[in-house]
Amino acid sequence: MADDIAAGGPVSDTVFLEGLQVETVIGVYEWERSIRQTLWLDLTLAFDCRPAGTSDDLAKALDYDALSKHIRAWASEQSFELIETFAEQLCTLIYTFADIRDIQVRINKRGAVAACAGVGIHIRRTF
């Protein structure tokens, strides 16, 4: 395995963003369509960290600060009924922004069900 890594072999690195809060219009009920709600996002992004790790060069890393700002700005402009649609569009956004081809998204819509810490979905998309 060490020989694989030294030779530039298979890599299974990921970058994650956990608990990223975004404000958006989301929901199927009339009252939900007139307010902004918070969604909590957990993202796991397949990304080869080796170039950044061996060079200490930010330009070779995934700029997760820029990505998170892009996601927040995008979410604030969206209006979806379903978190499933939000998730699909988010995966496309991440792919387009950062050329990430393997994306896992977990969306938590807290408060959607009474007496429940959270509800949501977890999807994985590859491009």
Catalytic residues: 109
Helix (H) or strand (E) segment spanning residue 24: strand 14-26
Alpha carbon 78 to chain centroid distance?
15
DSSP 48-78: --HHHHHH--GGGS--HHHHHHHHHHHHHT-
State whether residue 47 is helix, strand or coil: coil
Structure tokens of 54?
């061996």
Structure tokens of 5?
């890594």
Q: Interhelix angle for 64-76 vs 83-98, to 10°?
A: 140
